[in-house]
Structure 1
């Protein structure tokens, strides 16, 4: 099919694809502990039904060793054609405070700005939608072999990462397409070629057998919360750069973003400075960042005049691609031990780490991807790094080292993923689906020319 024929085919299937997306968003498939299990399983069954209607064969639920099932399907390709594994996930983040949503979180709702709102509308049920749209544009007969894998616990688990190596033949492919990303701006095509890794742990500070009166004992008595605050304050220098020994980043040579645009997208308040040095992209894509993402200490409401005996913080590190998440955890632990004041007692727990990813971009799949994005968006694509992490990418890369991994999608910087009023732009979703359809056609053309 020509690009014009694919464009028309994708456009014609979009109403049905939006209906599929609405059906998925309606299901509160939160796979986190403490949330009901049945909606997640319902989302798995619904995803399976959608894939079957789109033309996938051998559609089935893959039971993970723990957690929730993944949904799998395939379509054998013409003889001699490459095989592409398509990935996204059907689980979502919790809605949070419902009154912070302008429309119901689990109802795909159009608003006057043209976007479609609902939890999972972007992350990552839009990924399922664009995969289905691409297949439907070929009337269920794609020019290459397809496999599809829709995960059920990407947001809160990693069973699939350990499942992959033991089932290589089921997932084996020449190219892996992960539809869990997107563009900074609607209509401006990007390929995400690097991801930061992560490290996280809880640090606990103890100083007393129990809380004591601040008047009777304040002065010589060490307060655990004050000690923890002093430790946290050493993690950054005066400019806001990470100050942990061994955590040095590197320059980013891809596309950058202006400070004005970044401030807007991040919601930085007027007059508040950005922190760190170097370009915005260097700070986000190829440097370390450290944040305190949780703190156990008395709340202001109801607080009393007592010295704190124990305080805890969860400290999260984003790690540049090419640097070790495990090593970063060790560096963070060494730093906290070194700066702990007054011989306080320390304990470390809930330690997690994951590696970043840097894709090789000179293979035939990337050539096809750039051509496809040019066709779908009418302009050349740029490379971008992501400050976030997708641990499963490394599982794909280690299990299938010869496969090229493409990371794109229908999300954009205004999608508000993981936050109230998440949304997707339906025009962007159609463009992303067209890019994937053109990509599959390009792969087939390249193989025929070989």
Structure 2
């Protein structure tokens, strides 16, 4: 077992705890949030493409300050400013180049379609990204689709996959109330929206009396982030953080009835299906009763996070490993948070990504160049740090195919 040397905390990190008694929880409208974690000088975007190292190093930063609501179990960035964000064609969030992720997404689509009989229906996806999941839902169930996302890029999907699918490059709002959809899907978008109660209330209003419309949301689970001290899963773009319980409370409080609630993708994602309620609510599910668990996770986060920060400081520090060549695999938000929180610049020069639209770009804040897997054949790194353990098997196979001998580590 590696001996973890206690290191000085990065200057951007603070675990000072105090109350914001007048701040309103955007998830339940209650007064008072308890601050427990702060990161300063963190990039305001993780997925925008940086064309040069200079642009990446000088990209705007802000403070992230997590506050916990003891009423509903919600966690939010109390310093969040939505005006700094740019969701445009420069925004490159897709995980669709991973066979592992595509297998999960296809399996999820198939399960939802079969369980709820979504055949020859109309599906509306809010925050559809590049449209791959919506196209899959339409193909598997012979459905029609409408995708809404300001970051949608035309021509990224083969024309054969887009039959019966249309896209709007804009944000979802009340003006879309006239879209009579049988299914409303929203995956990995709600965590980018600060006023969650207002958003769900608006969505319920646009649905109106259509109580048979299936609502299907997917968001990251914060419980495992807190329990394991995963500081790389906390970043500015994600201004809201849910447990199954806080997500269910939000849905019930805004006029929805929970049909199913569970964790998926190795426990990383919360999936909820619901319907608009006309009055009487369904019995609470066991998964909703997680407040005691959440209180313990909040209490222990300080120790867990300090441990993980120290672990990775030891692992990548140039003082301990001056001649080692280390790369990260995965250049998305986790890598941005990992590198910026640890204040890593000279220790790591390259980040690998299989997404060709990311290759040749740079990591916001710390400036590492994003390279293709083929780069490793010549570079021959001593260590590869995988930014999500769910991809370990897929990445190990690719590295073996490249005839690269290296030590694989996962966060």
Q: TM-score, normalised by structure 1?
A: 0.22
Larger radius of gyration: 1
Of structures 1 and 2, the one scoring higher in RCO (CA 8 A, sep 6+) is: 1
Q: TM-score, normalised by structure 2?
A: 0.24
